Amino acid sequence: MSNKVKKIKHEGMESLVTAVIVCDKDLIINYINPSTETLFEVSAKQAVNNNISVFFEDTNNFFKKILQKVDEQKNSYKEHEYFLQTHQKKTICVSLTVTALIDSSDEFIIEFIQMDQQLKVAREERMFIQQQANTELLRNLAHEVRNPLGGLRGAAQLLEQELGEESLKEYTQIIINEADRLQNLMNRMLTPHQMPVYKKTNIHEILERVRSLILSEFSSDMSFIRDYDVSLPEFIVDREKLIQAILNIARNGAQAMKLNNQDSMQLSFITRAERQIVFRKKKHATAIRIDIIDNGPGIKNELIDKIFFPLVTGNENGSGLGLSLAQNLISLHQGMIDCHSVPGKTVFSIILPIENNLTSTKEKK
């Protein structure tokens, strides 16, 4: 097709507010409209005749497979929420539609609409409320289970003392051991009501502590990358609670890499300042972002939307409480946790406002 014909064909797309890419089966770009240039910060000149990887990584050949499907089934494809990582290392959420171009056997239109920030905020808020309700429900349940469990264990012990036959004690031991196991689980679900201790703290002290705990648990096979913004100010937090939250996240990464039997296990801690961000319906002038990154197998697809819910686990011996606990502890500091995961790279980002209305706990005399 001559360039002139192509130009006329794509003219109608020039003024669209949605970002449009026209490409062939192999994802080689024939045309992009100005909205695409703005969305991905790449010019048409840089893009045309190149692969769509100039804009973003085609993780798991997602786009290639979709184009094949659209070509075979002769209909369009829609994805309401898809996360892309651009070459500026920005993660953006888009809704996308792929259609075969009429009058062309080998051209496809990919249309992107960036998900409204507002929608995202509303969704986060909904998820947060749902999570609070779930946690509350489980706490009440754990409370109700804990008391009869004590009675059950005590009765089994008394019974054991009365048993004449030694071999029967095997059964009372099962009752006692299983009651203990349940008791431990219930205790973890009922986050201890320790009084918080708020103190001015440097985030890097906390991260260094987590690092040494991880290294002692997972030996020195783990390589650590630390990329700290040392200019970050101190802020008021409960040190032990933050250590617990970050440790739960980092430990998951280390466990996933170990279970994956990979040769190189790498954990990264990155800290940065974030300015003027909005979350949980509040605007924060400055916040600290902590990225905890591992190069493990990634979070299983079927788990990704539920990992923060209590009792959700993908590990045989996991109890599924680590992340839900971390979420609660970060919420105490008015922060939030976000997560993006693809095979080979899982990023948990914790965002903590510096101005959090917490006041230092007075030292006891």
Ligand X SMILES: Nc1ncnc2c1ncn2[C@@H]1O[C@H](COP(=O)(O)OP(=O)(O)OP(=O)(O)O)[C@@H](O)[C@H]1O
Site residues (vs ligand X, CB under 6 A): 248, 252-253, 256, 294, 296, 298-299, 303, 307, 312-315, 318-324, 346
Does 322 sit near Mg ion (CB under 5 A)? yes
> Is residue 108 helix, strand or coil?
strand
Q: Compute CA 276 distance to the chain's CA centroid, rounded to the nearest angstrom.
A: 22
Q: Contact at 8 Å (CB) between 252 and 267?
A: no
| CA pseudo-torsion sign 336, 341, 347, 348 | positive
Q: Does 252 bind Mg ion (CB under 5 A)?
A: yes
Nearer to ligand X, 153 or 251 (CB): 251
**Shortest Å distance, C-beta 60 to ligand X:** 16
Partner from Mg ion, ligand X, none contacting 313, C-beta within 5 to 8 A by type: ligand X
Pick between residue 66 and residue 292 the one whose CB is nearest to Mg ion: 292
Roughly how many angstroms between the first and final C-alpha of the chain, as a whole number?
A: 85
Q: Which token pair is 188?
A: 């973890």
* Minimum CB–partner distance for residue 318 and ligand X (Å): 2
246 or 256: whose CB is closer to ligand X? 256
The Cα–Cα gap between 81 and 115 comes to 8
Partner touching 319 among Mg ion, ligand X, none, CB below 5 to 8 Å by kind? ligand X
The site partner of 335 among ligand X, Mg ion, none (C-beta below 5 to 8 Å per kind) is none
Q: What single-letter DSSP state applies at residue 298?
A: -
Q: How far is the CB of 300 from ligand X (least distance, A)?
A: 6
How near is the Cβ of 62 to ligand X at its closest, in Å? 20
Structure-token pair, residue 344: 């080979």
Q: Which is nearer to Mg ion, 310 or 353 (CB)?
A: 310
Binding segment for Mg ion (CB under 5 A), chosen from 67-75, 97-105, 238-246, 318-326, is: 318-326
Minimum CB separation from ligand X for residue 334, in Å? 21
Q: Which is nearer to ligand X, 111 or 294 (CB)?
A: 294
Nearest to Mg ion of 99, 319 (CB atom): 319
Q: In what order do the strands lie in the sheet with 282-294?
A: 222-227, 265-279, 282-294, 345-353, 336-342
Which listed option, ligand X, Mg ion, none, makes contact with residue 312 (CB within 5 to 8 Å by class)?
Answer: ligand X
The helix/strand/coil state of 8 is: helix
Binder of residue 111, out of ligand X, Mg ion, none (CB less than 5 to 8 A by kind): none
Pick 70 or 257: Cβ nearer ligand X: 257
Least spacing, CB of residue 47 vs ligand X, in Å: 33
Q: How far is CA 338 from CA 83, 107, 109, 127, 301, in A?
A: 13, 36, 31, 12, 16
- Pairwise CA distance, residues 152 & 158, whole Å: 10
- What is the C-alpha separation between 158 and 196, in angstroms, rounded? 39
Q: Which does 307 bind (CB under 5 to 8 A by kind): ligand X, Mg ion, none?
A: ligand X
253 touching Mg ion, by CB under 5 A = no
User: What is the spatial distance between Cα 187 and Cα 175, in angstroms, rounded to a whole number?
Assistant: 18
Tell me the CA distances in angstroms from 57 to 49, 61, 258, 349, one per residue in order.
Answer: 17, 9, 26, 20
Binding site for Mg ion (CB under 5 A): 252, 322
